[in-house]
């Protein structure tokens, strides 16, 4: 949760932004497969992995895709951000580091 908005992924392949007070959907973003990764939010960007082998960076206010990167397999791990670097693991056995 950040700035009164709860961000979560779902097995239907969507990422949801929900108003924490009312529960109303603020936006959705559709990936190609299930989203079991928990998101990380930093500097107005939501980072999340998907079983479509991608890591997504989404605008936290609008849900618009800022960028995505493809890995070699499902991305079910939750991203971590430290010192301006995004770290996330994939079922391809690799840990990825992105400088957003």
d(CA 31, CA 60) in angstroms, rounded, equals 16
Question: Does residue 87 surpass a pLDDT of 80?
Answer: yes
Give the pLDDT confidence of 3-61 residue by residue, as tens digits.
899 999 999 999 999 999 999 999 999 999 999 999 999 999 999 999 999 999 999 99
Residue with tokens 């996330």: 88
d(CA 19, CA 3) in angstroms, rounded, equals 9
Q: Which segments within 20-59 are labelled E, that is strand?
A: 25-30, 40-42, 45-49, 54-59
Question: Does residue 2 surpass a pLDDT of 80?
Answer: no
Query: What is the predicted pLDDT for the residue at 3?
Result: 82
Full set of structural domains in the chain with CATH: 5-98 (2.40.128.630)
Query: What is the predicted pLDDT for the residue at 36?
Result: 95
Count of residues making up the chain: 100
Specify whether the CB–CB gap between 18 and 6 falls below 8 A. Answer: yes
């Amino acid at each position: 949760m950040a700035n009164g908005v709860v961000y979560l992924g779902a097995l239907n392949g969507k990422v949801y932004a929900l108003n924490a007070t009312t529960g109303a959907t603020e936006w959705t973003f559709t990936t190609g497969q299930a989203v079991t990764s928990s998101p990380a939010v930093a500097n107005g960007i939501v980072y999340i992995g998907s079983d479509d082998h991608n890591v997504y960076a989404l605008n936290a206010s609008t849900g618009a895709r800022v960028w995505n990167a493809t890995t070699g397999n499902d991305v079910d791990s939750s991203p971590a951000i430290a010192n301006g670097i995004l770290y996330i693991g994939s079922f391809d056995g690799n840990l990825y580091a992105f400088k957003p």
